[in-house]
Amino acid sequence: MLFDALPDSVSIYEVSPRDGLQNEAVTVPTTRKLRLIEALAQAGLTRIEATSFVSPKWVPQLADADEVAGLLPRVPDVTFSALCPNAKGLERALTTKIPEIAVFISASETHNRKNVNNTVEGTLAAFGEVIAPAVKAGLRVRGYVSTLWGCPYEGEIDPRAGLRIAHRLVEMGCYQISLGDTIGVGTPKQTRDILRLFMSEFSIPQIAMHMHDTRGTALANVVVGLELGIRTFDASVGGLGGCPYAPGAAGNVATEDLVFMLDGMGVKTGVDLEKLWTAGQVAKAVVGRDLPGKVHKAGVRSLRH
């Protein structure tokens, strides 16, 4: 029966400072990025992807990665991470105190070529210069496998292609694989089938969900994950984000919408919804526009009181 076996608590992996801001056309000053990161940490989010050590040529918005990483607030029990696409990125990360990095790859060959200018196999080969050296240096490494639910160029993707990639990443040393619906086309039944496939070969802690909300189905897909026992969900405050190489794709599921739903279902997150709503207002001010997150101040109060 629905909702009979939900996990008592889940972990939210906040991606707005990186995945959320990377698609913004107007450069966000470093001080504003740090203000957003501080607000997220104060709300109780303990896993925050702060930036990306990618070439400024490809993602100008994150050209200040070294500065951001060097100025991150010191908040007890908060783990900051950064995306590192290659050996050069890792070299930069190792000069900071970032304790965790992430690597990313697409299940779609076409999307991977457009996103990182390399084949899937070539990207995996390049990770040989990133993952093992990072682990040896004492960093944890997380892996993203994107476009599992569908590709803007190839359409439907065989999830077994993503499964093979995930095995390679885990063999290299990734502790967790975040499964991505990059363009937000996933439906609950499809999500169930994909998760069951991965759960047949990986443990629950090794799997995370990264659901974009292009068609308003991200929360429905999250509920499917909850019912199957998934305990890690990526989210972006305000629903901020998108993908430069996935035209029309919306941002990740909004963190405040996710927390509101989980609170109402009795699933603990460790996040203070009222402070998270405030962080959403900071995000709105940072980018200078309204964001798609749906939780309003009145909704926060009605839940808490």
Catalytic residue (one of 84, 151, 174, 243): 243
Q: Which residues pair with 210 in a beta bridge?
A: 180
Q: Which two tokens stand for residue 296?
A: 């309003």
What is the C-alpha to C-alpha distance for residues 241 and 222, in angstroms, rounded to an integer? 18
Task: Output the DSSP codes for 192-254.
Answer: HHHHHHHHTTS-GGGEEEEEB-TTS-HHHHHHHHHHHT--EEEEBGGG----TTSTT---BPB
- For the question of residue 243 being annotated catalytic, the response is yes
What is the C-alpha to C-alpha distance for residues 293 and 296, in angstroms, rounded to an integer? 8
| 209, 234 contact by CB (below 8 A) | yes
Q: Which two tokens stand for residue 74?
A: 């010191």
Residue 292 three-state SS: coil
**Active-site residue set:** 243
